[in-house]
Amino acid sequence: MPLAVLGLGGLALVAVAGVLPASVVADKEVASGEREATPYARTPSSAQPVGDRISFGELDGEAEQFPSDGDVYFVTVTEPEQSLLSWWAGRDEPAVQFLTTTERFGAQTPEQRRVFALESMRSAEQTAQFVALEALGFEVDIVPGEVLVRELVCLETTDDGRECAEFAPSAEFLEPGDRLLEADGVELAGVEDLSGVLADKEPGDTVELVIDRPEEGEITATVPLIASPSDPDRTIVGFVPFDTRRVELPFEVDIDTGRIGGPSAGLAFTLALIDELSPGELLGGDRVAVTGTIELDGSVGPIGGLRQKASAVQQAGVEVFLVPTAQGDDDIAAARRAAPGLEIIPVADLDEALAELERLGGDPLEPVAG
């Protein structure tokens, strides 16, 4: 009877721990030096082939698809709310990172987060198409996109450099996610149009902006201008825009991004497109996981959740993982600890990624157009 009672008591404790939130016991020190609860955790999610998500319109002799025996895999993480039980089980796992509410959601509203995720993903897809087709020798044009506020300019940070102590005056009138429709009566088809309006203005002048704000609609604001902190001779409104430029391709390309959020699959998209449109075996017939943003010049930028992604790659049975050199030595070392035995290869740009694939047994890239 005592053993039965102990057994039932243990089951009851497990059940209760599975319901209680992790924030009951889980916390960590934040930038302010105080401790905050960590009710969320960044954990491995999945590694999936990109090729299944790429489709083409009528190629009309402009290009040709080449089936490949290999696969480029993109990798995702998840950030669910944690129970006391899941916190206890994962507290010593190198692939689990506990998060405060601010780390999980930032200071943005749900609508702002939605706009940012969609715009980041669209930008990653567009940039990947441009870089891939240019590498293959195709003519690709870039056209202006709408003016979308990504963040406000910070004029002064706190002593530890982790937070902004003073934003530009525009922060009183603009919010991340705002779309600028007009400036002093000039319709804005792109950031270039805004630069034209500001060309004859000086710091201290004002500009009247028509703004489309999510969930509020159109508003008008008269915003004071400042000198750029990095270039005192340039007058700015005081925000950093998204790169919303669009690419015009010689044929239709579509990447089904599904519920992928953010730009971290940019390099994976680029390599998968090159593999689809070039002869030979870019991957040598193997499976290669890839993460990292891609810029128009082909450089590869850092991403979040690298060690969780490394663990997801290992769990998927993929043996090679290309990651950004820009991630830094400490982050890459942490990823190797989270996925011992996985071959993690840092690359700085597309050329390095292609060279590493060739070293692993893939065929060299040969342009197919131009």
Q: What is the pLDDT of residues 3-22, one digit of tens each?
A: 555 555 555 544 544 555 66
Residues 190 and 272 in one domain: no
Q: Which helix (H) or strand (E) holds 246?
A: strand 246-248
> What percent of the chain stands above pLDDT 90?
54
pLDDT tens figures, 39-76: 888 899 999 999 888 888 888 788 888 888 999 999 99
Kindly state the average pLDDT of the residues 90-94. Answer: 76
Residues 134 and 277 in one domain: yes
Top pLDDT among 66 and 163 is at 66
Residues 309 and 352 in one domain: yes
In a domain? residue 284:
yes
Torsion from C-alpha of 277, 278, 279, 283, nearest 10 degrees: -100
pLDDT tens figures, 221-269: 999 999 999 899 999 999 999 888 888 888 888 888 765 656 889 999 9
Residues 351 and 259 in one domain: yes
Torsion from C-alpha of 173, 175, 177, 183, nearest 10 degrees: 20
Give me the pLDDT at residue 17, please. 47
Query: Of 45-59, 68-82, 107-121, 286-300, where does mean pLDDT reach its minimum?
Result: 107-121
Going 85 to 88 to 91 to 92, the CA torsion angle's sign is: negative
Q: Which domain holds residue 59?
A: 43-77+118-138+252-359
CATH number at residue 341: 3.30.230.10
- Decide which of 207, 241, 275 is a domain's last residue: 241
The chain-wide mean pLDDT, for the chain, equals 87
Does the pLDDT at position 105 exceed 90? Answer: no
In a domain? residue 54:
yes
Angle between helices 306-315 and 329-338 (to 10 degrees): 30
- Decide which of 218, 241, 264 is a domain's last residue: 241
In a domain? residue 62:
yes
In the chain, the number of structural domains is 2
pLDDT tens figures, 326-357: 999 999 999 999 999 999 999 999 999 999 99
Q: Report strand pairing: 287-290 vs 71-78.
A: parallel
Residues 215 and 284 in one domain: no
Residues forming beta bridges with residue 227, ordered by sequence position: 235
* 155 three-class SS: strand
- Decide which of 194, 211, 241 is a domain's last residue: 241
